[in-house]
């Protein structure tokens, strides 16, 4: 699949914008998780998987979801954050999960349910990392199960649903005219010029 | 932020990245506090030997993470599984196993932080990307695209703070509804999209297409010193692990844990 | 002879729009020719430039008909200094041009040095791009293009985001490069310092068709009416010269200068009316880290007063403006809004008194519809919906946005966005309106329209404070000018007194009328001495 330069830079730029949002979110998360424990704080988890469904929905190419989440994580590396390398690993696990959802539908279906599935799979990906690295396996089964469930729900809603809402409001601003999301919409509406592009 | 004069900064970024990620993966396989602590201490020693760290630097950059250490420790001690109860109050239930596992994970997290800091504080961004292109065959399209995007990070940060000020004046609050949060992020993303488009146009207008043969201004290579650093790092990790084994401290993740 | 650069019967339509952006355009450019494309906002002049340079349809997709001939190697300079680079340091950025041409690595350093010298960029090669000023960034952009050794340079409003000094520098630099036999195609808003060395000007109308072309003098004279009606910035002096205008007392420009000087003088001498204070600043010091951005600043702002804050980049103008809106905290001193310390105002109440228009209006839009945007403040304060709707309609009419009431704010033109952001700040009849470079990057028609609205508001008693680099606007509209330099107020008084003072005013460009006045005055001084 051939990426245009425009799509490459857009993917990177939007991922990094998400990464900047994540940085802000992290400062909120720490104090909350200390108080209510890992379980309660999981409600907030979904924001961290926003990049994948959002960018995959706009670009609609294989690999977009994975690259998006890894790039977003790279913000922490390049801003010199101490969590740099670990967030790169988490980003990879989440991105892989998010990508799987689109792969299952052969990169043909970009509906709300696919996006929410992508958010949920990203949550599972991060859970795998948490089990391996953060010692989540040492939690009591009750705590672990609740964590897992909440994280998936949060991933589907704050990741998938929110991504859809953001993409739709972006579409209304007219800034996405040149990208696959809008091209496919134009095609559906019968503006055939879109499909003869790339002269 | 990046100190380029120290020895660790001379190491090929791609090699350094791989080596540090491998040590971090190794840390994930360790399930006892003693070995984890030893491997964490190793990262500090490397910082002092090759990273130009001194006591002030460590106090400033590492010590704040002790709060994080306590947090991670507390989470597992109070919410972790275990039979031997030490104390119980409110919804917290502290066990011996929880304390043991909590210490392991807390030291592991500290290790992640310091190995990460060792990398980020001694690696030049451009050199890292160039070395990804040359050593790991990252396509120039993605390499240069990534560098182009990185220039936006400070821009995004200042835009976010301006947006907060503007929303304060308007009386707009993003709390509560999902939809209003989506609206809140809109200026950030539209600016990002426009900037991305302009940069991509500018890059192509300067003859970049990612496919044509090109030359490079920076060509990082892998030299002897890179292999020597890897050898030193891995030998040190293995020796410390062996030491811990000889004292009977060592536990692997797959062997389960015991207190 | 084979054509150098040309397009024949070219039309362009963008996807998602129904009308053509460019229709049946044919032009042909000779080697070494300098051409300026002129036309109202949105007439497609940038599109034409992109078609000629190959960006459309190469990078930007659009439906293009007709034929285009262009040399193998072209370079394009863009307006946004923050969005045309992909590397982190100056040297690497220029090297990127060389890498794309597959220049051998060992030749690069020498070529980078040459390009930097040509572009007047005297900084170390490892300088971080983000630390450069806008003007320096544009020099870097030029150095990158010179490293391409292109046959044609396209310049798409290269100075649109620079202050007058930066613009002046870039134009003189480009002029010095133009002496070489390089073909240059320009799109520009502000023409002073540029139009006089163009070989040809091509004028487009609002529908994207060419309506005239010729030498700059001819086009400016022949199409004066069209240019004025289209709201294109006209040069302040060209096609005349200072000598010529000075020598001829009946010259329309000299008459206009004399008039405007008379006006400014009269306003400066008018007795000050006793008015209520809206805002008092007392001994204000603001610092970032250890450096003081502003030191011991004091002044008052009264009802119905128009204040302009001027000064060089980094002098602290925007910081002061933000402080007046309570967005920057002083380290020392106080700001009072209607005699009450700004810190003691509840947020919602404060912003019913003070409006702030950001340089980038998009940052302050919070809804998806123009109408809702204006009504927003009233809705969250639970105003009566029928009264609110009446007020919103009045504001939309006042700012000529009625036709766009259902549009998404982000889809408006630059001028409309700016007007909308001002309208949103007047819903509560705010007493103090703060604006950060409100005319920046806009054409003459939209600027004038906005300033006229502000003038109306001022006459109704609103105090207006704006940061600007445009001294003509200061002279024409402001009652008072605050010149900030090195964190202190260097001058506080009527614009006439600042501009007509004998002292030099570094970093500020005097309006032409004052330059003329100084000339006359100095001439009178010289004459008696000369005859002695």
Average pLDDT of every residue of chain C: 91
More confident residue, C495 or B89: C495
Domain extents for chain B? 7-127+221-247, 140-206
Read off the pLDDT of residues B66-114 as tens digits, 9 standing for 90 and up: 887 888 888 788 777 888 887 777 667 788 888 899 999 999 999 999 9
Q: Which stretch of A34-43, B87-96, C42-51, C509-518 has the lowest confidence by average pLDDT? A: A34-43
In this predicted structure, the answer to whether residue C289 has a pLDDT above a threshold of 90 is no
Bigger pLDDT: C532 vs C445: C445
Q: Round to whole Å and give the CA distance between A142 and A150.
A: 12
Instruction: Give mean pLDDT, residues C96-122.
Output: 96
Q: Do C377 and B171 touch (CB under 8 A)?
A: yes
What is the model's pLDDT at position B179?
A: 78
Q: What is the pLDDT of residue A191?
A: 62
| Alpha-carbon B122 to chain mean position | 13
3-state SS record for C321-364: HHHHCCCCCCCEEEEEECCEEHHHCCHHHHHHHEEEECCCHHHH
As a whole number, mean pLDDT of residues A151-178 equals 92
Chain A residues closer than 8 Å to C64 by CB: 199
ipTM of this complex prediction, to 2 decimal places: 0.89
- Flag whether pLDDT at C464 surpasses 90: yes
Residue B148 has its nearest CB partner, among C86, C327, C367, at C86
- A192: pLDDT strictly greater than 60: no
Assess A84–B contact: CB distance below 8 Å, yes or no.
yes
- Mean pLDDT calculated for residue range B201-216: 90
Over the stretch C232-249, which tens digit does the pLDDT of each residue have?
888 988 888 888 998 899
Which of C96, C97, C112, C357 would you mutate first to test chain B, the one with the most B CBs within 10 A? C96
Contact B201 C103 (CB under 8 A): no
Determine the average pLDDT of the residues in C37-47. Answer: 88
Instruction: Check residue C77 and give its pLDDT.
Output: 95
What residues form DSSP beta bridges with C37?
C187, C202
The DSSP line for chain B is: ----SSGGGGS-HHHHHHHHHHHHHHHHHB-SHHHHHHHHHHHHHHHHHHS---HHHHHHHTTTHHHHHHHHHHHHHHHB--SSEEEEETTEEEEHHHHHHHHHHHHHHHHHHHHHHHHHTT--HHHHHHHHHHHH---HHHHHHHHHHHTHHHHHHHHHHHHHHHHHHHT----S-HHHHHHHHHHHHHHHHHHHHHHHHHHHHTT--SSS----S------HHHHHHHHHHHHHHHHHHHHHHHTT---BGGG----
Average pLDDT estimate for C4-21: 89
Average pLDDT over residues C5-17: 89
Distance CA C196, CA C239 (A): 7
Write down the domain spans for chain A: 5-191
Helix ranges restricted to H, A60-161: 64-78, 84-104, 112-133, 141-154
User: Per the CB < 8 Å rule, is C104 touching B215?
Assistant: yes
Q: How far apart are CA C259 and CA C255, in angstroms?
A: 6
- What pLDDT was estimated at residue A195? 39
pLDDT in tens, C212-222: 999 999 999 99
Ranking C12-21, C461-470, C472-481 by mean pLDDT, the lowest is C12-21
- What is the structure's pLDDT at B174? 66
Q: What is the pLDDT of residues B58-74, one digit of tens each?
A: 888 888 888 878 888 88
CB C56 within 8 A of CB C62: yes
Does C441 score more than 80 pLDDT? no
pTM higher than 0.80: yes
Provide CATH code, domain C273-500. 3.40.50.300
Interface of C with A in 403-462 (CB under 8 A): 408, 410-411
The arithmetic mean of pLDDT across residues C512-524, rounded, is 86
Q: Is there a contact between A192 and C16 (Cβ–Cβ < 8 Å)?
A: no
pLDDT of residue B175: 63
- Report the pLDDT value the prediction gives residue B27, as an integer from 0 to 100: 95
For chain B, positions 194-253, list CB contacts with chain C under 8 A. Answer: 194-195, 198-208, 212-219
| DSSP class per residue in B137-202 | ---HHHHHHHHHHHTHHHHHHHHHHHHHHHHHHHT----S-HHHHHHHHHHHHHHHHHHHHHHHHH
pLDDT of residue C76: 95
Write down the pLDDT at residue C531: 36
More confident position, B254 or A51? A51
| Cβ–Cβ contact B193 with C under 8 A | no
Q: What is the pLDDT of residues B16-43, one digit of tens each?
A: 999 999 999 999 999 999 999 999 999 9
CB contact under 8 A, C408 and A183: no
What would be the CATH architecture of the domain defined by C5-243? 3-Layer(aba) Sandwich (3.40)
Beta bridge partners of C291: C288
Per-residue pLDDT of B142-200, as tens digits, reads 999 999 999 898 889 888 889 889 999 998 876 667 777 888 889 999 999 999 999 99
Q: Tell me what pLDDT residue A141 has.
A: 86
Please compute the mean of the pLDDT values over residues C409-425 and round it to a whole number.
Answer: 92
Domain ranges of chain C: 5-243, 246-271+508-531, 273-500
Confidence class for position A197, pLDDT limits 50, 70, 90: very low
């Amino acid at each position: 699949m051939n990426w245009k330069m425009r799509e490459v830079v857009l993917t990177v730029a939007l991922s990094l914008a998400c990464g900047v949002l994540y940085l802000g979110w992290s400062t909120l998360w720490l104090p909350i998780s200390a108080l209510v424990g890992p379980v309660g704080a999981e409600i907030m988890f979904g924001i961290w998987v926003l990049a994948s469904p959002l960018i995959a929905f706009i670009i609609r190419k294989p690999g977009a979801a994975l690259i998006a989440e890894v790039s977003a994580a790279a913000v922490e590396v390049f801003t010199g954050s101490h969590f740099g390398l670990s967030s790169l690993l988490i980003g990879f696990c989440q991105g892989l999960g998010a990508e799987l959802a689109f792969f299952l539908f052969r990169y043909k279906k970009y509906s709300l349910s696919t996006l929410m599935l992508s958010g949920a799979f990203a949550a599972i990906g991060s859970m795998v990392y948490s089990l391996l690295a953060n010692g989540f396996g040492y939690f009591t089964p009750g705590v672990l199960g609740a964590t897992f469930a909440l994280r998936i729900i949060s991933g589907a809603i704050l990741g998938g649903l929110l991504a859809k809402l953001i993409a739709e409001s972006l579409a209304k601003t007219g800034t996405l005219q040149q990208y696959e999301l809008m091209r496919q919409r134009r095609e559906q509406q019968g503006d055939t010029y879109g499909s003869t592009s790339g002269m | 932020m990046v100190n380029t004069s120290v020895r660790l900064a001379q190491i090929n970024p791609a090699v350094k990245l791989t080596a540090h990620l491998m040590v971090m993966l190794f840390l994930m396989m360790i399930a006892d506090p003693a070995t984890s602590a030893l491997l964490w201490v190793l990262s500090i020693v490397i910082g002092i030997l090759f990273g130009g760290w001194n006591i002030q630097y460590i106090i400033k950059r590492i010590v704040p993470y002790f709060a994080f250490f306590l947090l991670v420790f507390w989470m597992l001690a109070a919410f972790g599984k275990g039979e031997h109860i030490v104390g119980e109050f409110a919804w917290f239930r502290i066990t011996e196993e929880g304390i043991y596992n909590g210490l392991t994970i807390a030291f592991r997290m500290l290790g992640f932080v310091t190995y990460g800091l060792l990398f980020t504080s001694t690696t030049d961004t451009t050199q890292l990307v160039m070395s990804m292109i040359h050593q790991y065959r990252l396509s120039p399209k993605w390499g240069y695209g990534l560098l182009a995007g990185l220039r936006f990070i400070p821009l995004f940060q200042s835009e976010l703070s301006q947006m907060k000020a503007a929303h304060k004046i308007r009386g707009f609050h993003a709390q509560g509804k999902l939809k209003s949060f989506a609206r809140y992020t809109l200026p950030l993303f539209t600016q990002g999209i426009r900037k991305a488009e302009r940069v991509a146009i500018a890059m192509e207008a300067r003859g970049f297409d990612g496919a044509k043969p090109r030359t490079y201004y920076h060509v990082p290579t892998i030299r002897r010193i890179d292999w020597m650093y890897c050898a030193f790092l891995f030998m040190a990790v293995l020796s410390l692990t062996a030491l811990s084994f000889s004292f009977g401290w060592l536990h692997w993740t797959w062997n389960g844990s015991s207190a | 002879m084979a054509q150098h650069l040309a397009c024949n019967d070219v039309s362009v339509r963008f996807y998602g729009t129904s009308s053509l952006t460019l229709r049946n355009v044919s032009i042909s450019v000779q080697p070494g020719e300098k051409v300026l494309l002129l036309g109202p906002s949105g007439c497609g002049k940038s599109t034409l430039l992109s078609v000629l340079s190959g960006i459309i349809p190469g990078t930007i997709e659009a439906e293009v008909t007709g034929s285009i001939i262009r040399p193998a190697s072209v370079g394009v300079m863009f307006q946004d200094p923050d969005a045309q680079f992909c590397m982190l340091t100056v040297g690497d950025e220029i090297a990127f041009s060389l890498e794309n041409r597959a220049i051998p690595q060992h030749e690069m350093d020498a070529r980078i040095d040459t390009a930097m010298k040509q572009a007047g960029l005297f900084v170390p090669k490892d300088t971080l791009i983000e630390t450069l000023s806008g003007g320096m960034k544009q020099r870097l952009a030029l150095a990158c293009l010179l490293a391409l050794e292109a046959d044609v340079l396209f310049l798409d409003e290269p100075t649109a985001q620079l202050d007058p000094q930066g613009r002046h520098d870039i134009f003189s630099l480009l002029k010095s490069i133009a002496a070489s036999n390089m073909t240059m195609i320009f799109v520009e808003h502000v023409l002073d310092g540029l139009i006089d060395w163009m070989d040809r000007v091509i004028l487009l109308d609002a529908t994207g068709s060419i309506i005239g072309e010729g030498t700059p003098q001819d086009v400016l004279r022949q199409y004066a009416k069209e240019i004025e009606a289209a709201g294109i910035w006209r040069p302040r002096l060209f096609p005349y010269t200072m000598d010529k205008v000075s020598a001829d007392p009946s010259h329309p420009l000299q008459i206009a200068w004399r008039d405007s000087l008379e006006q400014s003088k009269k306003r400066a001498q008018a007795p000050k009316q006793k008015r209520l204070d809206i805002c008092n600043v007392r001994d204000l010091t603001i610092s970032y880290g250890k450096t003081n951005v502003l030191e011991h600043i004091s002044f008052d702002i009264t009802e119905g007063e128009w204040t302009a804050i001027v000064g060089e980049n980094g002098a602290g103008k925007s910081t002061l403006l933000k402080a007046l809106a309570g967005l920057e905290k002083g380290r020392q001193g106080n700001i009072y809004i209607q005699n009450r310390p700004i810190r003691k105002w509840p947020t919602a109440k404060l912003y019913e008194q003070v409006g702030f228009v950001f340089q980038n209006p998009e940052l302050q839009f919070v809804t998806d519809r123009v109408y809702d945007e204006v009504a927003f403040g009233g809705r969250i304060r639970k105003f009566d919906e029928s009264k609110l709707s009446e007020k919103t309609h009045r504001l939309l009419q006042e700012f000529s946005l009625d036709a766009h009431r259902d549009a998404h704010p982000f889809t408006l033109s630059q001028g409309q966005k700016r007007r909308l952001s001002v309208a949103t700040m007047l819903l509560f009849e705010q007493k103090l309106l703060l604006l950060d470079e409100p005319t920046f990057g806009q054409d003459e028609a939209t600027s004038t329209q906005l300033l006229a609205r502000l003038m109306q508001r001022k006459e109704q008693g609103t105090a207006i404070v704006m940061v600007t680099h445009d001294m003509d606007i200061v002279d024409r509209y402001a009652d008072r000018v605050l010149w900030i330099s090195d964190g202190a107020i260097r001058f506080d008084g009527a614009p006439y007194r600042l501009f007509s003072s004998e002292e030099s005013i570094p970093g500020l460009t005097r309006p032409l009328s004052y330059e003329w006045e100084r000339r006359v005055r100095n001439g009178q001084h010289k004459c008696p001495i000369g005859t002695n």
